[in-house]
Structure 1
Amino acid sequence: MAHIIVVGNEKGGAGKSTVSMHVATALARMGHRVGTLDLDLRQKTLARYITNRQTFLHNKRLDLPSPRYQDLPEVEQSSLKPGDNALDQRLSMAVSDMEADNDFILIDCPGSHTRLSQVAHSLADTLITPLNDSFVDFDLLAHVNSDGDEITGPSVYSEMVWNARQLRAQAGLKPIDWIVVRNRLGAQNMVNKQKMQKVIDKLAKRIGFRAAPGFNERVIFRELFPRGLTLLDLRDIGVKGMNISNVAARQELRELIKSLDLPGVSADF
């Protein structure tokens, strides 16, 4: 069965789709079969990212390893039994269709609390939660005191993940491997950055996730989206001289893939 990776965070702007695209493309470039779903039915940023990639590669006559994208199938209301939820059925059908043909299924969740996102979290073998390096974003995981150095209690997203873990346990499935990724980091080692590291380490022990490094804030991520490209594609499109920032970003991606510890995956790319 395919290993299901869910990228989730109920707050927008944390870089979920950028992380999703880079993880999915890295796995594809390593020879793994990767299918993707975008559960943000309104914005569909990941879906658009992959469409941009297909268009760019077609126009440039390039053949680069790429994740495959699938829309959620429609269901006939008449086919639903009493009590069935149409969204649940659409997600279940999509995952069932993709499992046989993929090693990994990556699901990108919206930056809000939705029924689809809840169900997807309960399907996750690996859960990646990108988190901006800010106490505003951290508040989604846990509440802290006014000094920002002590945790006073879990917050809404952590409780949702806990519920997803309970559902998996009841179904006899293995526990979710939850990785919180500190994303869009600033270059300077400020006091806020140090405090964030401290409380994340505390919370990781308290509610059971692993912390991993993500991407620093870089302009290149915004530049790659219109062409559907990732950091791993630059040499293939003729970029000969990689600048220091691009080399550092590739290393960040390599460290992220290594930290995920996915089955049968190394960080050799």
Structure 2
Amino acid sequence: MAHIIVVGNEKGGSGKSTTSMHLATALVRMGHSVGALDLDLRQKSFGRYIENRKAYAEKHDLTLACPDYQDLPEIDSTALEPGENIYDHRLSAAVATLEPTCDFILIDCPGSHTRLSQVAHSLADTLVSPLNDSFVDFDLLARVDPETNKILGPSVYSEMVWNARQLRAQAGLPPIDWIVVRNRLAAQNMHNKIKMGQAMEDLSKRIGFRTANGFGERVIFRELFPKGLTLLDLRDIGVKGQMNISNVAARQELRELVKVLKLPGVEVDF
């Protein structure tokens, strides 16, 4: 069966779609077959990223490694079983379509709590939760005492992941490997970065996730989206002047992130 990677949290602007695109493309470039689903049915940033990629490749007569993106199928409500949720059915149908031909299925979730996101989390073999390195985003995971910086208890997103874990356990499925990815890390060991690091370490022991460093704040990510490109494509397409020190560092960040995920059968070779 395909290994399902879910990229999710409940806050927009944390880098979920950028992370999804770079992970999916990296896996395809390494020779794996990857299916892709975007559960943000309104904005579809991940889906748009892939559309932009296909359009750019066609326009410039290029062959670019690309995941197999699928929209959720439309379902006739008369085909539902009594009490069956239509969104559950649409997601199950999409996964069933991709699973026979894919090593991995990567699902990008919206930055809000939805039925689709909730169900997707229960399907996750690997859950990747990007968040900006600030206590604004950390509040999704846990409540913190503002004076002592001690963790008071889990917050809304952690509780949702806990529920997904319970559903998987009841179904006899392996536990979710949950990785919280710290995006937009400051270059220096600033006070906030140190406090965030300590809070993440404490919380990871309490609710069971691993941590990874993600992507820094770089202009290149905003520039790549309209063309559907990733950091791994720059040399291949002959983009001049793009492989500066910052972009080389970003490529290294992606390499380290893929290593930390420890996905089955993946040997990082880029």
In the superposition, the TM-score normalised over structure 1's length comes to 0.98
2:9 is equivalent to residue 2 of structure 1: no
2:257 corresponds in structure 1 to 256
Within 1, Cα distance between the matches of 2:164 and 2:175?
A: 10
1:182 corresponds in structure 2 to 182
Within 2, Cα distance between the matches of 1:148 and 1:224?
A: 41
Counterpart mapping for 1:111-122 below 5 A: 111-122=111-122
1:244 corresponds in structure 2 to 245
Overall identity of the aligned pairs, in %: 74
Within 1, Cα distance between the matches of 2:168 and 2:56?
A: 40
1:188 deviates by 3.0
1:171 corresponds in structure 2 to 171
Q: Secondary structure at the match of 2:101?
A: coil
1:88 corresponds in structure 2 to 88
1:74-118: CA deviations, max 9, x gaps?
A: 111111121010000000000011000100000000000000000
1:44 corresponds in structure 2 to 44
Pair 1:148–1:54, CA change in 2 (3 A): farther
2:79 corresponds in structure 1 to 79
2:158 corresponds in structure 1 to 158
1:189 deviates by 2.2
In the superposition, the TM-score normalised over structure 2's length comes to 0.98
1:171 deviates by 0.2
Within 1, Cα distance between the matches of 2:39 and 2:231?
A: 24
Counterpart mapping for 1:24-43 below 5 A: 24-43=24-43
1:190 deviates by 1.1
2:149 corresponds in structure 1 to 149
Q: Secondary structure at the match of 2:232?
A: helix
2:193 corresponds in structure 1 to 193
1:198 deviates by 0.3
Answer with 180-189 or 118-127: which moved more. 180-189
Pair 1:220–1:148, CA change in 2 (3 A): farther
Q: What amino acid is the match of 1:139?
A: D
1:67 corresponds in structure 2 to 67
Within 1, Cα distance between the matches of 2:106 and 2:189?
A: 32
Alignment check: 8 A CA contact 1:36 1:69 kept: yes
Aligned length: 269
Q: What amino acid is the match of 1:160?
A: M
1:267 deviates by 1.6
Coordinate RMSD, CA, aligned: 0.9
Within 2, Cα distance between the matches of 1:147 and 1:194?
A: 16
1:149 deviates by 2.4
1:221 corresponds in structure 2 to 221
1:23-49: CA deviations, max 9, x gaps?
A: 000000000000100000000000000
Within 2, Cα distance between the matches of 1:240 and 1:225?
A: 17
Alignment check: 8 A CA contact 1:148 1:195 kept: no
Within 2, Cα distance between the matches of 1:14 and 1:183?
A: 7
Structure 2: unaligned runs, 5 residues or longer: none
1:148 deviates by 5.9
Within 1, Cα distance between the matches of 2:157 and 2:6?
A: 14
